[in-house]
Amino acid sequence: MTTKEEYDLHVLIPRNELAAIVKGLADRISADYSSGDLVLVCVLKGAFVFLSDLVRLLQIPVEIDFVRLASYGSKMKSSGTIEVTKDIEIPIEGKDVLVVEDIVDSGRTLHFLRDRLSASGARTVRICTLLDKKARREVEINADYVGKEIDDVFVVGYGIDFREEYRYLPDLCYVTPAERTKK
């Protein structure tokens, strides 16, 4: 399938497999945090679909907040400089925090965010990511809950964008340069 003339989309993880992955994560999180005061911090925008599926499968009460981070560098790769463009609003002091992220790539975004949340006095800060591109790690960061490890492909759909496109796709796809424009 070709869209916008430039890229081909290929399904990487179909919606039924995504649902099973999210259910598995929700069950583990529910078992691990059975005793209250959990705040989920969703990293905007890419994790919004993942978060909304995840929270509806949890069997424990949670508070939900959002953070938005900007990282400077080329569009397909984050650089070292990260800025908070929308901060959390719920006080997290003394609480357990679980960061909900779409993809860990170089690890720079989550390294920054984890340290920042810990410095705000959270009791614990753990990370739940739908996808992990482990081979691309540049700084050490280990997610506590990983939906699926994937190869170094550029993914879109299920909330994740390429230049703000494709977030609405229900399956997780990856993009390649369109076959007919390849030289």
Active-site annotation, residues: 105
What is the distance between the alpha carbons of residues 104 and 141, in angstroms, rounded to a whole number?
A: 9
CB of 8 or CB of 154, closer to ligand IMP: 154
- Contact flags string 67-106 toward Mg ion, x per CB under 5 A: -----------------------------------x----
Per-residue binding letters, 36-55, with ligand IMP (x by CB under 6 A): ----------x---------
Binding of ligand IMP by 101 (CB under 6 A): yes
Interacting stretch for ligand IMP, rule CB under 6 A, among 2-10, 22-30, 56-64, 153-161? Answer: 153-161
Q: Which is nearer to ligand IMP, 96 or 102 (CB)?
A: 102
Q: Taking contact as CB under 6 A, which single stretch among the options 5-13, 29-37, 101-109, 164-172 is the one that binds ligand IMP?
A: 101-109
**Complete DSSP assignment for the chain:** -EETTTEEEEEEE-HHHHHHHHHHHHHHHHHHTTTS-EEEEEEETTTHHHHHHHHTT-SS--EEEEEEEEE-S-TTS--S-EEEEE---S--TTSEEEEEEEEESSSHHHHHHHHHHHHTT-SEEEEEEEEE-GGG-SS----SEEEEE--S--EEBTTB-BTTBSTT-SSEEEEEE-GGG--
- Cα–Cα distance for residue pair 159/139, rounded to 1 Å: 25
Smallest separation, CB 173 to Mg ion (Å):
16
**118 binding partner (options Mg ion, ligand IMP, none; Cβ < 5 to 8 Å by kind):** none
46 interacts with Mg ion by CB under 5 A: yes
154 binds ligand IMP (CB under 6 A): yes
Which residues sit at the interface with ligand IMP, rule CB under 6 A? 46, 71, 78, 101-109, 154-155, 160
